[in-house]
Amino acid sequence: MGAWGVYPSEVTDNIYITDRENGLFIFRFDETTSTDFSKSTYFSVFPNPTQGEIQVKLAENAQNKLATIYNIQGHRAKQFKLPSGKIIHKLQIDDLGPGYHILEVRTTDQILHKKILVH
């Protein structure tokens, strides 16, 4: 089980992942990952690319926040519980290897994703 091949495309900003059992998956990371804009949570990550620390900015109304960073193979590399009442969260990621990673932020009603690049 797991990814058979992982192919990031700098041309399309898509990530193509193949799996022997389930076929091809195409991941696209846009500025908004929700189609219901009335419930959309503002989400930004900076600096990106980074060398060791990122700041995650979320809307004030985001509740029960959990940030997880996955490596390009889809394995969980780090996880952070983000305290309520804060808008900007600083995450130390200097122990991650260089390359692309996926940041997932879960709130009470949404799951948001951003692609980050660590130098």
Confidence grade of residue 95 (pLDDT, cut at 50, 70, 90): very high
Q: Is the pLDDT of residue 12 over 80?
A: no
Q: Which domain holds residue 58?
A: 33-118
Inside any domain, residue 25: no
Q: Which residues contact 13 (CB under 8 A, 6 or more apart)?
A: 28, 29, 115
Give me the CATH number covering residue 46: 2.60.40.1930
Inside any domain, residue 28: no
CA–CA gap between residue 44 and residue 59 (Å, rounded):
10
Per the model's pLDDT, the better-predicted residue between 41 and 18 turns out to be 18
Percentage with pLDDT > 90 across the chain: 38
pLDDT of residue 55: 95
pLDDT of residue 41: 54
Angle at the Cα of 17 (from 5 to 2), degrees rounded to 5? 65
Q: Is the pLDDT of residue 104 over 60?
A: yes
Inside any domain, residue 13: no
Q: Is the pLDDT of residue 40 over 60?
A: no
pLDDT of residue 1: 53
Omega prior to 8 cis, within 30 of 0: no
Looking at the whole model, is its pTM more than 0.85? Answer: no
- Sign, CA dihedral 92-96-97-102, equals negative
